[in-house]
């Protein structure tokens, strides 16, 4: 057994696939095309097919993918975008970057947006809602459709943590008006650097998004709109194209690991955060609620060579950068409870199953001593 089991590593992926990745990188070198070439075109096509949307626009990362979506729907000063504070900072920073005001809604026992709490938050200024499928847990947002109709809202899915997850048998990323995915290296579909993508069925917005990601250019190096630079490079696209073919089998391996944790951890102090109803989670993380002092538990595991993940310790509404939004502790009680108690055990692609056995033994014996 190795001395330290990290919460995430690409070591075991590289052990198995390094030669394939090197070959793919060499192919890109030999093609002489490093940006906006055939690798990206292929990946956009394959990813759309996998998710079940008509179009995809490869980007440099998901933060900018969300930002570009907000620009494409005309978000501007004074507009409001509703999302959760129990998310990665970039869901919120993209809203600020687009000059809009983030409005936070509390979460439910799954740690996901509580649709029932939305009515009091939607105003004439609300233009969009960003649903975050956290941890690989998909949100059921069927109930949102009625607000969409009555208030003309755009629904954006932040699928950065949920590649391949399904709700009511539909893949996340294919349900809202637009979706954004991150391919940050730790994700279930991870690049070896930064990358992201937008999916949509809207042809005119797809064309606009392609322009927005490349200086506003439609063709012949003439800017049709005021644009940005948000291209995915060919090396990442080539690697992602290959990794996409392994995604379902990697999700199945993650599920096996999760079930081993669920079946063999026998302390009532540590309980899996419940999966949403009718969901097929993608197990990006395997999160639990810990009932006692989470920080002590995390340190005790670390002393035993097991590194865990807390997502997130501080919710975005309580971070100094967002003080101007006027939120305080107590405004989003379930979000805050979630941040105080969540802890995720290690999971990564090609993780050896004897690591899981070792982690279960250590967790059970540490918990027995509390």
Ligand X SMILES: Cc1ncc(COP(=O)(O)O)c(C=O)c1O
Task: Say if CB 265 and CB 364 are below 8 A apart.
Answer: yes
How big is the chain, counted in residues?
A: 370
Which parts of 159-246 fold into alpha helices (H)?
A: 203-212, 234-244
Quick one: 115 or 265, whose CB is closer to ligand X? 115
Chosen residue from 9, 17, 39, 63 binding ligand X by CB under 6 A: 63
Interface residues for ligand X in 169-188 (CB under 6 A)? 182, 184
CB 134 to ligand X: min, Å: 6
46-to-15, 40, 50, 217, 302 alpha-carbon distances in Å: 26, 10, 6, 24, 40
- Is the Cβ of residue 237 or residue 367 nearer to ligand X in the bound state? 237
CB of 280 to ligand X, least distance (A): 19
* Closest approach of ligand X to the CB of residue 257, in Å: 20
3-state SS assignment for residue 292: coil
Using the rule CB under 6 A, is 83 a contact of ligand X? no
Hey, what's the torsion of the CAs at 322, 324, 327, 329, to 10 degrees?
70
| Choice from 17, 48, 56, 91 touching ligand X (CB under 6 A) | 91
Spatial separation of the C-alpha atoms in residues 180 and 344, rounded to whole Å? 23
Residue 196 neighbours by CB distance under 10 Å: 27
On whether the CB atoms of residues 290 and 270 are closer than 8 A, the answer is yes
Shortest separation between residue 130's beta carbon and ligand X, angstroms: 9
Per-residue contact track with ligand X, 320 to 349, x per CB under 6 A?
Answer: ------------------------------
Sign of the CA dihedral 257, 258, 264, 268? Answer: positive
Among 44, 158, 234, 349, binds ligand X (CB under 6 A): 158
Please tell me whether the peptide bond between 312 and the residue prior to it is cis, using omega within 30 degrees of 0: yes
By rule CB under 6 A, what string of x and - marks binding of each residue 97-136 to ligand X?
A: -----------------------------------x----
Candidates 55-63, 212-220, 222-230, 321-329; binding stretch for ligand X (CB under 6 A): 55-63
CA-CA distance, 175 to 141, in Å (whole number)? 9
User: Of the ranges 156-164, 165-173, 314-322, 341-349, which one interacts with ligand X (CB under 6 A)?
Assistant: 156-164
Report helix, strand or coil for 91: helix
- Give the binding-site size for ligand X (rule: CB under 6 A): 15
Cα–Cα distance measured from residue 306 to residue 96, given in angstroms and rounded to the nearest whole number: 36
- In the complex, what is the shortest distance from the CB of residue 256 to ligand X, in angstroms, rounded to a whole number? 23
Q: Which is nearer to ligand X, 63 or 309 (CB)?
A: 63
Give residues in contact with ligand X (CB under 6 A). 61-63, 87-88, 90-91, 132, 158, 160-161, 182, 184, 194, 196
């Amino acid at each position: 057994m190795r001395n330290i089991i990290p919460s995430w590593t690409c070591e075991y992926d590289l052990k198995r696939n390094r030669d394939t990745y090197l070959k793919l990188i060499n192919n890109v070198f030999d093609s002489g095309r490093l940006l906006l070439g055939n690798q990206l075109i292929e990946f956009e096509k394959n990813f759309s097919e996998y998710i079940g949307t008509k179009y995809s626009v490869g980007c440099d990362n998901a933060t900018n993918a969300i930002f570009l979506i907000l620009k494409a729907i005309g978000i501007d000063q004074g507009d409001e975008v509703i999302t959760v504070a129990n998310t990665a900072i970039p869901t919120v920073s993209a809203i600020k970057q687009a000059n809009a005001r983030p409005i936070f809604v509390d979460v439910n026992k799954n740690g996901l947006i509580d649709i029932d709490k939305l009515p009091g938050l939607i105003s004439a200024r609300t233009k969009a809602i960003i649903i975050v499928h956290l941890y690989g847990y998909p949100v059921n947002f069927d109930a949102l459709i009625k607000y969409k109709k009555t208030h003309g809202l755009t629904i954006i899915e932040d699928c950065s943590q949920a590649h391949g997850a399904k709700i009511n048998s539909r893949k996340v990323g294919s349900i809202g008006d637009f979706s954004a995915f991150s391919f940050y290296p730790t994700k279930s579909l991870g690049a070896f650097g930064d990358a992201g993508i937008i999916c949509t069925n809207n042809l005119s917005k797809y064309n606009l998004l392609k322009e927005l990601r490349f200086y506003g250019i439609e063709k012949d190096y003439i800017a049709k709109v005021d644009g940005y630079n948000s291209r995915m490079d060919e090396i990442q696209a080539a690697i992602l194209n290959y990794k996409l073919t392994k995604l379902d089998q990697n999700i199945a391996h993650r599920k096996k690991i999760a079930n081993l944790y669920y079946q063999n951890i026998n302390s009532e102090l540590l309980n899996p955060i419940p999966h949403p109803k009718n969901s097929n989670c993608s197990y990006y993380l395997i999160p639990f609620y810990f009932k006692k002092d989470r920080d002590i538990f995390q340190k005790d595991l670390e002393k035993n060579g097991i590194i865990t993940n807390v997502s997130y310790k501080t919710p975005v509404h309580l971070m100094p950068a967002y003080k101007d939004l006027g939120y305080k502790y107590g405004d989003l009680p379930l979000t805050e409870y979630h941040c105080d108690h969540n802890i995720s055990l290690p999971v990564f692609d090609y993780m050896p199953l004897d690591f899981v056995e070792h982690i279960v033994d250590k967790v059970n014996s540490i918990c027995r001593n509390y």
